[in-house]
Amino acid sequence: MRLYGFNNLTKSLSFNIYDVCYAKTNRDQLEYIAYIDSQYSSDRLTNILYKLTDMIGAHVLNVSKQDYEPQGASVAFLISDKSIEREVAAAKAEEEKKNGGEPPELILGHLDKSHITVHTYPEFHPETSIATFRVDIDIETCGHISPLHTLDYLIGSFDSDIITMDYRVRGFTRDVKGRKLFLDHEMTSIQDYIDEATLDIYNAQDINVYQANMFHTRLMIKELDLSNYLFNTNAYDLTPEEREVILENLRKEMIEIYSGKNVFHK
């Protein structure tokens, strides 16, 4: 596809994961929050975003990160689809060509900037013995960069029980004949960019608005291994009845998060 000028399309991916855990006592819940804060500090999140930026072929221009009290962390990356050195060198070469081989007195380099942000939200309620951890990652790109190919890496970077993803392409660009292009790649579902082995683990649902280039996919894990959801509790110390109740409460919590509404809590 030959374009006229710069690719002006903006591609936005919102990636949200939820990790659900059973923490029996208030002390367990507080310790779970402390554990999550240590596991997903701003430093670790920064490393994840560096890898993600490299995967989409972008270059980091600026990094801002913060750990919050009593819990949570945020990281923001300002990115470009070209390195500063390459952009400046290209601008210099173009100016020298215009000036008949003479070096320019001033070089103005345009960088097509975008951003990546991540925020964490650990939470619990003292009456439920259920604690959750949410991660929101937003990738805003312009030009030819697309964030969809990072989905398997993002899913694998977190313990993901529920995942919601939104992808939207905004604006338009033009081909060499002046025809507007509102999408520069084929797109039917976000699921097309997720490995089949990963999809097998989850129940998946799409809600897409093709006319507006808006795509939404949500995933919820199919099978629950109770030992993976107990914090400071040994499954062998629980009676079969207790295990059944805990699994039921975990599943109810996931269904409500997946549905986006109170199903069991009126």
Over residues 72-92, the pLDDT tens digits come to 889 988 887 654 444 444 545
Greater confidence (161 vs 106) lies with 161
Rank 85-89, 108-112, 228-232 by mean pLDDT and report only the highest: 228-232
Confidence band (pLDDT; 50, 70, 90) for 21?
very high
Check residue 111 and give its pLDDT. 37
What's the chain's average pLDDT? 84
Nearest CA-CA partner of 163 in 193, 188, 124: 193
Nearest CA-CA partner of 218 in 205, 201, 235: 205
Tokens encoding 247:
């699994």
- Number of Cα atoms under 13 Å in the Cβ half of residue 237: 6
Check residue 96 and give its pLDDT. 57
Please state, in angstroms and as integers, the Cα–Cα distance from residue 186 to each residue in 68, 146, 173, 192, following that order: 40, 12, 15, 10
Check residue 141 and give its pLDDT. 84
Share of the chain above pLDDT 70, in %: 87
Of 42, 80, 119, 157, which is the active-site residue? 119
Cβ 133 vs Cβ 19: under 8 Å:
yes
**What is the rounded average pLDDT of the residues 45-58?**
88
Query: Backbone dihedral region of 152: left (phi > 0), alpha (psi from -120 to 50 degrees) or beta?
Result: alpha
Which residues, in sequence order, are bridge partners of residue 162? 18, 220
- Give the chain's largest Cα–Cα span: 85
Instruction: Note the pLDDT tens digit of each residue in 167-210.
Output: 999 988 888 888 888 888 889 999 999 999 999 999 999 999 99
Our CA angle for 124, 130, 135, nearest 5°, is 60
Distance (Å, whole) CA 184 – CA 165: 20
Tokens encoding 231:
């914090």
Check residue 84 and give its pLDDT. 43
- For residue 210, the 8-state DSSP code is G
Whether 21 is a known active-site residue: answer no
Q: Has residue 35 got a pLDDT over 70?
A: yes
Of 21, 80, 142, 157, which is the active-site residue? 142
Confidence band (pLDDT; 50, 70, 90) for 224?
very high
Lowest mean pLDDT across 9-23, 118-132, 235-249:
118-132
Backbone angles phi, psi at 46, to 5 degrees: -60, -45
Distance (Å, whole) CA 96 – CA 103: 5
Distance (Å, whole) CA 97 – CA 101: 5
Of 42, 80, 114, 146, which is the active-site residue? 114
Whether 114 is a known active-site residue: answer yes
Instruction: Note the pLDDT tens digit of each residue in 95-105.
Output: 555 556 654 44
Check residue 230 and give its pLDDT. 93
